[in-house]
Structure 1
Amino acid sequence: MSDATTSDCVPGTSARPVDVSERVALLDVLRGFALWGVFISNSFAWFSGNALLPRAQAESLVEPPLEAVVNGLYYFFVNQKFITLFSVLFGLGFSIQLARAEARKSSIVPLYCRRLGVLLSIGVVHAFALWFGDILAIYAVLGFALLLFRQRSNRTVLTWALVLLVGLPLLAPIVRHYGHSLLHRGQAVVRVARAGDEVDVRERGLLLEGLSSGSFWTTQAANAHFVTYVMPQPQRLLWMARILGRFLLGLLAGRLLLLQDVERHRSLFRRLLVWGLVLGVLGNGVGVVVQRLRLADLVDPTKDTWMLAMPAIAEVGFMALTAAYVAIFALLFQREQWHRVMQVLAPVGRMALTNYLLQTVVSLCLYDGWGLGLIGKLPLSHCVALTTFIFALQIPFSHAWLSRFRFGPVEWLWRSLTYGQWQPLRLAPREAPAPAMN
């Protein structure tokens, strides 16, 4: 959730929040687009409780033809693509902040660490007090790792990105599978895997029971307990490594000015669109097919060794289709008519942190037992429609807020705590927001 806001680039100046006129509008548009997809993913799997339901009940939700189509479209076009986009934009934002700090001839480390410290605090409160699926704390922790790459060559950054995104997802399942084989021998591997699955099912069941409770305190206690269960899981560490890999791709893209100067890289974006669609269709197509085979019990990850390659194949599919989305937005944004249409999303992206947290609050009121109690009851198609409707309301809300204020309310708090003093929030009576850079 980085928005590339540091100071101007005059040597010797002190750091300050960037003005609207200094922002890169395409990044705000992409961030707003990503926020919509992330909201759908969070609602589809977690807020609605679908990922917490017993298998038989979850499968019954996708039995009607419409729900089966929605489920397939979600896993093909949405699942992991938008969080990937958000992660890339975070790394790109770091690159812009680094470039501006270098232009001022100052170190990025003190200010950036304060920013990450505040973001980490917000994320921890969000995770334990509201929703276990928080991403802010993860971004903050991994943001510190980005500092290790600030002076590394482009080749080194790319190498590490490929290792984390392709090498690790390919190697880790192999090591885990054959490591268990050596330690436990034969059928014990299956028993160990199934025992782990049983624990996971039990913990998810306890969370679902808590979220369905009519008591707010019972619900939040179950949420906090699940956070402590999820945090030390090995799968979470592997997922965090993939996020860091995406950060590094964003860092590289920022260094190459890919999204800051689209016109100069137009031919690259065209190639990226073609190859992104080809690899994205192949990678995500395989993923959807394998998912259907698993639901039909035709494949077993604990026995079919060819399944060990699936995490790496899936990651390539995620990254490729995300790249195609970015290329489409970048190319269309250069056309005047599309530029005006896409600009509608820019205010949502400018206050993405506020909107992200607001999505949590609204979703808890809708789905948890102490609210409307829709958890586990809403068909997938209805869940997507409801989520899209709420996001559509956030668009005019963001426009209205930023017509009066410089930042979103949480962004303002983030900046104020980062700089150690309250930042001006309200626009001057006759001050109009300046047009953002293209």
Structure 2
Amino acid sequence: MSDATTSDPGTRARPVDVSERVALLDVLRGFALWGVFVSNSFAWFSGYVLLPRAQAQALSAPGLEAVVSGLYHFFVNQKFITLFSFLFGLGFSIQLARAEARKSSIVPLYSRRLGVLLAIGLVHLVAVWAGDILSTYAVLGFMLLLFRQRSDRTVLTWAGGLLVAVPLLAPFVQHYGPILLHGAQAAAQAAKASNEIDLRAKEQLLAGLSSDSFWTAQAANARFLTHMVPQSKRLLWMASILGRFLLGLLAGRYLLLQEVERRRSWHHRLLFWGLVLGVLGNGAGVVMQRLRLAGLVDPARDPWMLAMSAVMEVGFLGLAAAYVAAFALLFQRERWRRVMQVLAPVGRMALTNYLLQSVVSLCLYDGWGLGLIGKLPPSRCVALTLIIFALQVPFSHAWLSRFRFGPAEWLWRSLTYGRRQPMRLAPGDAPASMTG
């Protein structure tokens, strides 16, 4: 959900015109938004991760549901948030290049953009849904500013540390640290107590969201934040998001998606190695998940499983890289470009569509709405998500045939630039679906 300013030297910053956008980035952003929506719906909006283990297993146990769940974990889970984060970092790189072309500093404008995004995210986080990503992106976006003048080697080193070293070392520190400090018995009791607190917080959230009162549901959402935000695993998750930002920053510096033809050999290598690492990493993750559900392995008694976080992170990165490379290479073919352009308006309105997905999902799943939370098996949840996203595609096309921005994007830009942005397309302007 990133934007960029113009590259005209000597002019003041303004949002990019439709004709100045990189069409492939909008297409990829639309594709990423679909996957993020599937993930959010599958795990959170549906209440799946809030259910007791036995109830969750019963929903996903039948043959079709087990297949759908396996496909989700292999192809979707964490791959699209990886892709979305990568695009955020790449968008920052583009904005940085355009600011340098104007011979101006990116810091003031970008800081205002992030400040507005943080405000929107906090409202979404507290008043709508505790799983908000916007506030996290805004906070970590400020950290991106620290890397704007760092060398490629430094950026790559930090990315590798955040994405591989941290997931590899942190589980061992979390597991063995309390044992060394307090002894095995005390550490086991503390872990059990922490797990019970986590289960109780999820039970309370599920009960609140199942209520037929809108205010009870939203109050439960807000209370859950006090449990979720201080957790150490959230810091680990934020570290991985920042690492993905940095990979996007590097890709932007090397014009990986701005000049695909020049980087075609890179994309072929990304596609090959991404598939290899993606299949190995995600395959191992799916197998381990099935073994854990069957009670055959347990991190408490099988310490080697602590390394699975790093293995799975490599799998997430690999498959996300393969998606990027495949889209970039196919986009160079005229026939495929026409098909893929269908997603471009969705990507241009990513902020609006993301917020809309949350609101619609609450209406469908929460008790004050249709009350589907905790009741839909994986296949029906995914089918419902596909229907909603399919409706967002023509909505985005229709909106951008008349207006320059989505409504949330218009608000974001107007507050960022401190002046009301023109909303309607001027006569002669091409609608979004006609550009590329």
* Alignment TM-score, normalising by the size of structure 1: 0.98
The aligned runs of 1:402-417 (5 Å cut-off) are 402-417=400-415
1:21 Cα shift? 0.6
Number of the residue aligned with 1:13: 11
The aligned runs of 1:11-410 (5 Å cut-off) are 11-410=9-408
- Are 1:193 and 1:302, in contact at CA under 8 Å, matched by a contact in 2? no
Cα distance 1:184–1:266, how it changes in 2: closer, same or farther (>3 A)?
Answer: same
- Are 1:88 and 1:250, in contact at CA under 8 Å, matched by a contact in 2? yes
> When the two structures are aligned, how many residues end up with a matched partner?
436
Distance 1:437 1:236 in 2: 39
> Which amino acid in the other structure matches residue 100 of structure 2?
E
> Which amino acid in the other structure matches residue 23 of structure 2?
A
What is the RMSD computed on CA atoms of the aligned residues? 1.1
> Which amino acid in the other structure matches residue 15 of structure 2?
P
1:184 Cα shift? 2.4
> Which amino acid in the other structure matches residue 253 of structure 2?
R
Cα distance 1:228–1:434, how it changes in 2: closer, same or farther (>3 A)?
Answer: closer
Cα distance 1:44–1:397, how it changes in 2: closer, same or farther (>3 A)?
Answer: same
> Which amino acid in the other structure matches residue 382 of structure 1?
R
Task: Give CA-to-partner distance per residue, 1:363-404, whole Å, 9 cap, x none.
Answer: 000000000000000111000000001000000000000000
Structure 2 runs not aligned, ≥5 long: none
- Are 2:4 and 2:95, in contact at CA under 8 Å, matched by a contact in 1? yes
- Are 2:116 and 2:415, in contact at CA under 8 Å, matched by a contact in 1? yes
SS in 1 for 2:239: helix
- Are 1:20 and 1:435, in contact at CA under 8 Å, matched by a contact in 2? no
Cα distance 1:405–1:437, how it changes in 2: closer, same or farther (>3 A)?
Answer: closer
Cα distance 1:436–1:313, how it changes in 2: closer, same or farther (>3 A)?
Answer: farther
Give % identity: 77
SS in 2 for 1:175: helix
Distance 1:138 1:315 in 2: 19
SS in 1 for 2:257: coil
SS in 2 for 1:187: helix
> Which amino acid in the other structure matches residue 50 of structure 2?
L
- Are 1:115 and 1:418, in contact at CA under 8 Å, matched by a contact in 2? yes
- Are 1:21 and 1:436, in contact at CA under 8 Å, matched by a contact in 2? no
- Are 2:29 and 2:350, in contact at CA under 8 Å, matched by a contact in 1? yes
Distance 2:421 2:318 in 1: 40
Distance 1:186 1:132 in 2: 34
1:69 Cα shift? 0.3
1:167 Cα shift? 0.5
Task: Give CA-to-partner distance per residue, 1:256-311, whole Å, 9 cap, x none.
Answer: 00000000111111111111111100000000000011111111112211011011
Cα distance 1:173–1:267, how it changes in 2: closer, same or farther (>3 A)?
Answer: same
- Are 1:24 and 1:437, in contact at CA under 8 Å, matched by a contact in 2? no
- Are 2:401 and 2:432, in contact at CA under 8 Å, matched by a contact in 1? no
1:63 Cα shift? 1.0
1:196 Cα shift? 1.2
Task: Give CA-to-partner distance per residue, 1:33-79, whole Å, 9 cap, x none.
Answer: 00000000000000000000011100101110000000000000000
Distance 2:293 2:351 in 1: 36
